[in-house]
Amino acid sequence: MKDKILAPELIERQYEYMARVREWNPDGLKVHVVTFGCQQNEADSERITGMAVEMGYTVTESVEDADLIVINTCAVREHAELKALSITGNFKHLKKKKKSLVIAMCGCMVSQEHRKDRIKHSYPYVDFVFGTTRLYTFPEILFDCLITRERRFYLDAGDEGNIPEGLPVYRASRFKAWVSIMYGCNNFCTYCVVPYVRGRERSRRKEEILKEIEALARDGYREITLLGQNVNSYGKDLYECYDFADLLSDICKIEGNYQLRFMTSHPKDASFKLIDVMAREDKIAKFFHLPLQSGSDRVLTAMNRHYTREHYLSLVRYMREKMPEISLSTDIIVGFPGETEEEFCETLSMLREVRYDNIYSFLYSKRVGTRAAVMEDQIPDDVKADRFERLLALQNEVNLSKNREFVGKTLEILVEGASKTDKSRLTGRSESNRLVHFSGDPSLIGKSVTVKITEADLHALIGELV
């Protein structure tokens, strides 16, 4: 099958533009990137920052100091869109103070026609906008903007589907790394805007992925997370008989002191073969994020999810049989159009049955252009809010009781940094992704330590170094 890698000349051309901007920018102007949304967006922002650094910019945490601001947006729910628009609105006064400031917007929100129009008319201080498939042309677009100072909107799919290899990357962490293994989505879940803004599924070549991971392992990265909208369909567009489970097996042959994670999985494509590989390979964290969305078969059909509650449960049973210690998390949408009280209660009963270690729950948000947006029986906001509260209350009970089971046990923790709530403490995550706070020296950041758990609350475990 034909792969979708961009011709190397197209990437070389961008390196030429990077060199031209660097020449223009001898004083090392400053860049600030704001990121909304999922890990895929975080990974994209690391490429944008990487390209900016290659163009001579230095990274600043302060928007006031920035000469170039890039806002990487999300479109999955309205809330994320409104936040991005509001923060962009706040940057208007910066442009008044510093006329040379360049403001750019990119990502999923701006890849929608109606949002592009709104930015064009209501945010005149935004210099240029580029959609997700244009990310790799950022150097060329920036160069044009610096020279012409004209506003531009680059949203045509252009090289839609093509994968840029070899772009520079500026990783936000020294020990945790994202690796995109594929882009886009073919599933068209009826509530979801992603297939419209990120295009069709396309896999990176396995050789490119393995090369990137070899380099990360050599550089001492401790946690590597493979990213894709539906990692379980990795390779379907590219190989006759090489799938995600095969890719994981091949990655695990790469030596190094790292742990492998992946997201997101789709229950219709998660295979028993994949679970067997997970159970066999020590390098793969015993943690699985498996979005359920709803516990009702009728709602799952209306969502176009292509699995049943029973199929989902069979995956969970098999995982627990093979890996009794596995930790499970999920995504739930509350108030999908037409969801009845009984159907919502089926979601609650799934939570009781599976006893997830964590859930990410969302109020259904109408997305322009999706099938669910025009379905009848949209659920009133107060009903959605009530269901949401009940879902959280139930999960809080499960979380607390699960967290308490850890008191007295010892856990291996990757130390991530100072605790947000108490700067004198360190914080890290266990293999099962549990947040753990403890006292220790900041030199431990980026290292693995053993912690004995002494207390547990709803959101975190507290412990002592042993």
Could you list the residues that contact ligand SF4 (CB under 6 A)? 185, 187-189, 192, 194-195, 229-230, 266
Minimum CB–partner distance for residue 50 and ligand 5AD (Å): 25
* Residue 365 binding ligand 5AD, by CB under 6 A: yes
In the list ligand 5AD, ligand SF4, none, the entry touching 229 (Cβ below 5 to 8 angstroms by class) is ligand SF4
Site map 75..94 versus ligand 5AD, x via CB under 6 A: -xx-----------------
Helices (H), 175-293: 194-198, 206-218, 244-252, 272-280
* Residue 45 binding ligand 5AD, by CB under 6 A: no
In the list ligand SF4, ligand 5AD, none, the entry touching 365 (Cβ below 5 to 8 angstroms by class) is ligand 5AD
CA torsion through residues 376, 381, 382, 388, sign = positive
Q: Token pair for residue 219?
A: 């550089």
**Sheet of strand 223-227, all strands in order from the earlier edge strand to the far edge:** 176-180, 223-227, 259-263
**Which of the 8 DSSP states describes residue 27?**
T
Minimum CB–partner distance for residue 185 and ligand SF4 (Å): 3
In the list ligand SF4, ligand 5AD, none, the entry touching 168 (Cβ below 5 to 8 angstroms by class) is none
Collect all residues with Cβ–Cβ distance below 8 Å to 180 and sequence separation of at least 6: 40, 43, 204, 226, 227, 228
Closest to ligand SF4 by CB, 133 vs 229, is 229
Find out whether 412 and 450 touch, Cβ atoms under 8 Å: yes
* Residue 379 binding ligand 5AD, by CB under 6 A: no
End-to-end CA distance of the chain: 53
Q: Token pair for residue 429?
A: 């995550």
Q: How far apart are CA 397 and CA 375, in angstroms?
A: 34
Max Cα distance, the chain (Å): 64
In the list ligand 5AD, ligand SF4, none, the entry touching 283 (Cβ below 5 to 8 angstroms by class) is none
Closest to ligand 5AD by CB, 333 vs 436, is 333
Residue number closest to ligand 5AD, CB atom: 331
Looking at 243, 331, 338, 368, which residue binds ligand 5AD (CB under 6 A)?
331
Site map 268..307 versus ligand 5AD, x via CB under 6 A: -----------------------x-x--------------
Q: Which residues sit opposite 417 in a β-bridge?
A: 427
Find out whether 373 and 366 touch, Cβ atoms under 8 Å: yes
Closest to ligand 5AD by CB, 77 vs 206, is 77
Closest to ligand SF4 by CB, 14 vs 187, is 187
Q: How far apart are CA 466 and CA 464, in angstroms?
A: 6
Q: Token pair for residue 117?
A: 């129009």
Q: What residues make contact with ligand 5AD under the rule CB under 6 A? A: 76-77, 191-192, 291, 293, 331, 333, 362, 364-365, 367
